[in-house]
Homo-oligomer: A and B are copies of this chain.
Amino acid sequence: MQTWDAITSRRNVRSFDGRPISAESLDHILEAGRRAPSSRNSQPADFVLVTERAQLEQLATAWVGAGHVARSAATIALIIDESAEGGRRVQFDLGQVTMSMMLAAADLGIGSCHAGIGDEEIARQALGLPANKSCAFLISLGYPADRPLTPIKNPDRRAFDDVVHRGRW
């Protein structure tokens, strides 16, 4: 897919059609995340790839808004040092990782949605994390149940001329 089509086709997908994602495609998405830039190239995130249904269902209870994880074909958990949880730069870097993975997924026709974590202990147990690691975000993946990813003409966003200022504020 052309880059622009991936950028304009990506949308939050929370309902998946049940088809599995090939190991090759999952590695492709993980590799996109691995390549994301980070502050001083610190590469603060590890990724845990989860595809087992029982484990996905457990992870989905880590936040009230993470229900889509239970029904995903796969979910990637973004893991950081426990001590970095509040770090602004780390959060920025996680945003870069997430966008890179979501666009790589869209490129393959795979929908995605990220979720935060409400109960860290649930995520820790589901993923077998050591005490010094913390799950910061979940990125659920799957083929959309409703309609394929196609370019969105009018996304639900503030108007271009409202967001964009030229020269000065």
User: A: which residues have CB within 8 A of B?
Assistant: 1-8, 10, 12, 27-28, 30-37, 41, 43, 45-52, 55, 79, 86, 88-89, 91-100, 102-104, 106-107, 114, 116, 127-130, 133, 137, 155-158, 160, 163-169
Would A164 and B3 count as touching, CB distance under 8 A?
Answer: no
Nearest residue, chain B, Cβ from A4: B107
Give Cα distance in the complex from A67 to B7, angstroms: 29
Q: How many protomers of this protein does the assembly include?
A: 2
Nearest residue, chain B, Cβ from A135: B169
**Which residues does chain B contribute within 8 Å of A158, judged by CB atoms?**
34, 43
**Which residues does chain B contribute within 8 Å of A34, judged by CB atoms?**
155, 157-158, 160, 163-164
